[in-house]
Amino acid sequence: MPAPNQPPQPQAIPGVKHIIAVGAGKGGVGKSTIAVNLAVALARKGLRMGLLDGDIYGPSLPTMLGLHDATPHSHEHTIYPFEIHGLKAMTIGVLVEDDKPLIWRGPMAHSAFQQLVTQTAWGELDCLIIDLPPGTGDVPLTMSQILPLTGAVIVCTPQKVAQDDARRALAMFRQLGIEVLGIVENMSYFIGDDGKEYDLFGKGGAEMMARSLGSPFLGSVPINTALRRNCDGGNPGANFHDPQLAEAFNHVAQQVQQQVAVLKLDQPELTVH
Ligand code: ADP
């Protein structure tokens, strides 16, 4: 445990080349949805991917990956990740009982998260995606400092209020010296059964904000009922059979890979070797 007012020293995970955090200024914007589908999209490209659900306030990975009845295997001090949908996955949900809210304080969340991340047997990974808790409070801030991050992806919906929160998330990462790989606009637009595009929340708002803050824009994801169904049903692979969703998530994944290549010339690229 770091001394008071001392930032924790980031600790690398042996065998893991890149660690990317997915954050959001507030809850409900689709942060976990983007984290899961980004991980699956990169795994489908042939990368060895891990996914860690660190959202202590509402771990969604058990639902989104269909892990509810699964119990993690552990041996002595090693926890074995779930191998599902082409990913190695672990969730802080294993430490939280479904219907019992836990009051987490910074240091408690810090040590639980650190334990989970360092004791999980990730093996060799090209990239580990971390689904952070939403917001810019003590807990996401501390978690962002526990691991040496390649960078962070921020998820935002198009509305002005969501942008304000995303701006704060961006400022938090920048203040911590963490590269912001870019911003994803979720729930960007809706395509009706009539094939028409409906602009419900102000499509392009997050893109404009990204440009004004000098941050890359990684792509937009539409509101899509199949996406909601597949996420609630624990079947993210099905999103890649839907041309609209496959295109959106593959684009975001490709943009993330490109940003890693641009920013980290001295480090391994996020590609299949
Ligand atoms: P967060 O992690 O930001 O709290 P989630 O990813 O858990 O948000 O998403 C909240 C809910 O919204 C989930 O039921 C999810 O399936 C749904 N959802 C997220 N993005 C979309 C989208 N683009 N289209 C339809 N439903 C979505």
Q: Measured at the alpha carbon of residue 207, what is the angle toward residues 245 and 38, in degrees to the nearest 5?
A: 35
Identify the band that residue 101 occupies on the pLDDT scale cut at 50, 70 and 90: low
Say how many Å lie between the CA of residue 80 and the centre of ligand 1.
27
Q: Compute CA 157 distance to the chain's CA centroid, rounded to the nearest angstrom.
A: 15
Within a domain: residue 272? no
Identify the band that residue 56 occupies on the pLDDT scale cut at 50, 70 and 90: confident
Rounded-to-integer distance, Cα 272 and Cα 103, Å: 41
CATH number at 123 reads: 3.40.50.300
pTM greater than 0.75:
yes
Within a domain: residue 111? yes
Say how many Å lie between the CA of residue 236 and the centre of ligand 1.
12
The parent domain of residue 184 ranges over 16-263
Within a domain: residue 243? yes
Count of domains observed in the chain:
1
Q: Which of 228, 244, 247 has most ligand 1 atoms within 8 Å of its beta carbon, as the pocket-test mutant? A: 228
Q: Are 183 and 156 in contact (CB under 8 A)?
A: yes
Instruction: Give kind and range of the element (H or E) at residue 223.
Output: strand 217-223
Per DSSP, the residues of 132-180 read: PPSSSSHHHHHHHHHS--SEEEEEE-SSHHHHHHHHHHHHHHHHTT--E
The answer to whether residue 86 scores a pLDDT higher than 90 is: yes
Within a domain: residue 273? no
- Give the residue-averaged pLDDT of 76-96: 88
pLDDT value of position 142: 85
> Whose Cα sits closest to atom 12 in ligand 1?
30
Within a domain: residue 171? yes
The answer to whether residue 3 scores a pLDDT higher than 70 is: no
Within a domain: residue 9? no
Within a domain: residue 1? no
Of 210, 232, 197, 260, which Cα lies nearest the Cα of 65? 232
Within a domain: residue 148? yes
